[in-house]
């Protein structure tokens, strides 16, 4: 046997390897054929190859991230099981320290033909990884910062090579096949019981084969994985085909990474999308679609008691027509907020323009009616009125309950329009309308006065280079549009085209927004008299506003002169 292994080494292996040794995998006895001086270790007195390998790891010849997997090959039972199961070549690539620094190498166990417990001699070899393998290994090392498990697997041969695995994920020494490892990992409680079916289906050989037979895209699975603290976090397992993948040689790279925060964020985003789909955009109550879904679900439940309050806002149409839709929206939002306040433990919906429904599991019909009366009193303070109807019953009769509550609301609404409350509400709307019309007439009168006395009046935000105007001549509106509504740009164009040359420099200095805050710091106004190219005498007065919103530096610019405000 010894002669055979010597011939085997000399004829096929000697030139390809840096180091070679014959090893008895039963006793641990070993003898070197060849050693590379650059990576030679000198551990005198160690005659057991398994102890020798432990010594290598303890002396830190093996980089820390590879040490755990490397030490698996110092376990005699693990090595014997793999060798005697018929594997002819076992390869593990790792990074080891040498006199010249870090070096990627491949540790190989090569079993000659006829190897058995009775003929337990094999070859342990160490060789340089080729350039492509080294590049891949460096990439895998970088990926190890992202993934907590990286394996090269072969589902056809049922083998695996560990690139990286966390301590709590390493298989037992008696596990030799990738299928056994993946299954035992789950059955040992490392996969959440609710995700077991998804996990098992994903690792099925036929499932993998079917996927990669038609496409070479990544195959992924998300599941909850137990961590070192005993809790569960979302993880993602990815399978990617190797370049030599085929239906008869299913070689893949297997990656596992923690995606808990990412997955939870996705779930929250999905819930937000669903919630937005089910919400009324104006009031943020649930909408008609959600109401239809919920009533269908309630009907199919047990006969639990439920109470429905059906409400309608009185006078919305009149308010919209007379005072504008913004006033109508304000009223609807006020009613919705009041509804949420007085029915905090119930589900409330806006199911139409002015119709609201509340479904309560905790309130009886009498209790709900008392809450509605308190709502009426609260809304009356804002001069708003509602009509309401209430009904209770078993949840299996939800449609009849809602219908009865709506009918009760209609009767309440009919009574409202026959009462003096309706006339009072109309008078209130008319009074508010008269006030708005008066304010509008006053504003128009004020603007007419400005147009006769001023050439332009602006609020200018110095920090943001924007403006809002009280009065602006038409030509300056066009000038602003051409300047993309940048006030400083518009003033530069105005200076070049309308200010007489002997006043140009002083005009530019006064209207410089960058230095204006410093000049206004004392609180005094900045004033300038200038003449336009057409001979018109003008005056500009700039004042700092007493109060400015946060993030703003607003000023008032007043131009006087000209002919009735036709131009600045």
CATH code (residue 211): 3.30.450.20
Residue 168 is predicted with a pLDDT of: 64
Both structure tokens of 242: 């190797």
Higher pLDDT, 367 or 102: 367
CA proximity to 41, closest of 58, 22, 24, 66: 58
Whether residues 265 and 157 fall in one domain: yes
Domain of residue 87 covers: 1-130
pLDDT, greater one: 16 or 154: 154
Cα angle, residue 550 at apex, residues 548 and 556 outer, rounded to 5°: 25
| Last residue of one domain, picked from the residues 242, 271, 300 | 271
> Do 225 and 117 share a domain, yes or no?
no
What contacts 24+ positions apart, CB below 8 Å, involve 75-81?
Answer: 75/50, 75/173, 76/25, 76/26, 76/28, 76/50, 77/173, 77/174, 78/173, 78/174, 78/176, 79/25, 79/50, 79/109, 80/25, 80/26, 80/117, 80/120, 81/173, 81/174, 81/176
Of residues 44, 148, 45, 41, the one with CA closest to residue 96: 41
Q: Cα(475)–Cα(483) distance, rounded to whole angstroms? A: 13
pLDDT grade, residue 235 (50/70/90)? Answer: very high
Which one is predicted more confidently, 458 or 360?
360
Backbone angles phi, psi at 505, to 5 degrees: -65, -45
Yes or no: say if 153 and 179 are a contact pair by the CB < 8 Å rule: no
Residue at 430 is within a domain: no
Percent above pLDDT 70 for the chain: 83
What the block records as the tokens of 155 is 């589902």
- Residues 282, 386, single domain; the answer is yes
Domain annotation covers residue 434:
no
Residue 568 domain-assigned (yes or no): no
Domain boundary among 211, 236, 271: 271
Residue 357 lies in a domain: yes
SS3 314: strand
Residue 139 in any domain: the answer is no
- Among residues of the chain, what percentage have pLDDT more than 90? 35
Please list the helix, strand and coil fractions of the chain in percent, rounded to the nearest 5, in that order: 45, 25, 30
Cβ atoms of 334 and 382 within 8 Å: the answer is: yes
CB 306 within 8 A of CB 361: yes
pLDDT tens per residue, range 174-210: 777 888 888 988 988 999 999 999 999 999 988 888 8
The domain boundary, picked from 418, 433, 453, lies at 418
Both 300 and 244 in a single domain? Answer: no
**Within this chain, do residues 354 and 389 fall inside the same structural domain, yes or no?**
yes
CATH number of the domain bearing residue 78: 3.30.450
Q: Which residue has the higher pLDDT, 393 or 554?
A: 393
pLDDT of residue 450: 58
Alpha-carbon span 476 to 494, nearest angstrom: 9
Residues near 111 by beta carbon (within 8 Å), at least 6 away in sequence: 83, 87, 88, 89, 122, 123
- Enter the pTM of the model: 0.41
pLDDT higher than threshold 80 for residue 463? yes
Shared domain check, 99 and 64: yes
Report how far residue 475's alpha carbon sits from residue 473's, in angstroms, rounded to the nearest whole number: 6
CA separation for the pair 177, 85 (Å, rounded)? 11
The total number of structural domains that make up the chain: 4
Any idea what DSSP says for residue 333?
H
Same domain? For 489 and 537 the reply is: yes
Q: Which residues of 194-231 are buried (b: 16+ CB within 10 A; e: fewer)?
A: ebeeebeebbeeeebeebbeeeeeebebbbbbbbeeee
For residue 152, is it within any domain? yes
Q: Does a structural domain hold residue 380?
A: yes
Does one domain contain both 254 and 150?
yes
Does residue 528 form part of some domain?
yes
Residues 219 and 326 occupy one common structural domain: no
Please, are residues 254 and 149 in contact by the beta-carbon 8 Å criterion? yes
Does residue 118 sit in the same domain as residue 168? no
Contact 542, 525 (CB under 8 A): yes
Same-domain pairing of 299 and 412: yes
CA 516-519-524 angle, 5° bins: 115
Rounded Cα distance, 1 and 119, in Å: 8
**Residue 180: partners with Cβ closer than 8 Å, 6 or more residues away:** 158, 171
pLDDT score at 375: 94
447-463 average pLDDT score: 72
For position 332, what pLDDT does the model report? 92
User: What is the reported pLDDT for 89?
Assistant: 87
Quickly state the pLDDT bin for 1 (edges 50, 70, 90). Answer: very low
Q: Are residues 34 and 162 in the same domain?
A: no
Residue written as token pair 């060789």: 127
């Amino acid at each position: 046997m010894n002669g055979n292994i010597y011939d085997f080494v000399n004829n096929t292996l000697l030139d390809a390897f840096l180091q070679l040794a014959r090893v008895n995998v039963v006793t641990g006895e070993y003898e070197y054929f060849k050693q590379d001086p650059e990576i030679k270790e000198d551990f005198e007195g160690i005659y057991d190859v398994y102890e020798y390998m432990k010594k290598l790891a303890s002396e830190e010849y093996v980089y820390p991230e590879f040490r755990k997997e490397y030490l698996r090959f110092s376990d005699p039972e693990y090595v014997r099981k793999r060798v005697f199961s018929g594997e002819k070549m076992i390869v593990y690539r790792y990074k080891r320290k040498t006199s010249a620094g870090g070096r990627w190498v491949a540790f190989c166990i090569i079993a000659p033909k006829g190897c058995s417990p009775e003929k337990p001699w094999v070859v342990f070899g160490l060789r340089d990884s080729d350039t492509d393998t080294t590049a891949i290994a460096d990439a895998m090392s970088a990926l190890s910062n992202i993934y907590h498990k990286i394996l090269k697997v072969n589902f056809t041969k049922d083998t695996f090579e560990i690139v990286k695995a966390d301590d709590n994920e390493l298989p037992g020494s008696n596990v030799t096949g990738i299928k056994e490892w993946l299954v035992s990992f789950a059955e040992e409680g490392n996969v959440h019981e609710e995700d077991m079916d998804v996990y098992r289906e994903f690792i099925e050989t036929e499932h993998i084969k079917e996927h990669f037979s038609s496409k070479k895209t990544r195959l992924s699975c998300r599941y909850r994985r137990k961590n070192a603290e005993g809790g569960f976090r979302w993880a993602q397992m990815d399978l990617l085909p190797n370049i030599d993948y085929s239906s008869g040689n299913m070689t893949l790279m297997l990656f596992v990474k923690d995606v808990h925060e990412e997955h939870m964020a996705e779930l929250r985003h999905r819930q937000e999308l669903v919630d937005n789909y089910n919400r009324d955009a104006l009031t943020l109550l649930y909408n008609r679609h959600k109401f239809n879904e919920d009533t269908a679900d309630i009907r199919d439940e047990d006969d639990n008691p439920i109470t429905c309050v059906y409400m309608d806002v009185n006078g919305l149409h009149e308010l919209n027509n007379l005072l504008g839709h913004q006033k109508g929206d304000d009223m609807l939002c006020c009613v919705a907020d009041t509804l949420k306040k007085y029915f905090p433990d119930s589900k409330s919906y806006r199911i139409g323009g002015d119709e609201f429904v509340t479904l309560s599991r905790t309130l009886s019909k009498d209790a709900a009616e008392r809450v509605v009366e308190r709502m009426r009193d609260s809304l009356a303070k804002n001069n708003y009125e509602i009509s309401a109807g209430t009904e209770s019953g078993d949840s299996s009769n939800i449609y009849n309950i809602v219908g009865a509550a709506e009918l009760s609301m209609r009767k309440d609404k009919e009574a409202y329009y026959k009462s003096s409350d309706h006339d009072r509400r109309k008078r209130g709307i008319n009074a508010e309308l008269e006030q708005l019309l008066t304010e509008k007439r006053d504003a128009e009168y004020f603007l007419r006065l400005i147009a006769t006395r001023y050439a332009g009046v602006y609020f200018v935000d110095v920090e943001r280079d924007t403006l809002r105007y009280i009065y602006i001549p038409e030509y300056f509106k066009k000038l602003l549009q051409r300047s993309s509504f940048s006030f400083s740009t518009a003033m530069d164009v105005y200076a070049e085209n309308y200010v007489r040359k002997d006043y140009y420099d002083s005009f530019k200095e006064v209207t410089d927004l960058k230095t204006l805050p410093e000049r206004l710091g004392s609180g005094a106004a900045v004033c300038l008299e200038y003449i336009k190219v057409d001979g018109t005498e003008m005056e500009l007065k700039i004042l700092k506003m007493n109060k400015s919103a946060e993030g703003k530096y607003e000023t008032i610019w007043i131009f006087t002169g000209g002919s009735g405000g036709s131009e600045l």
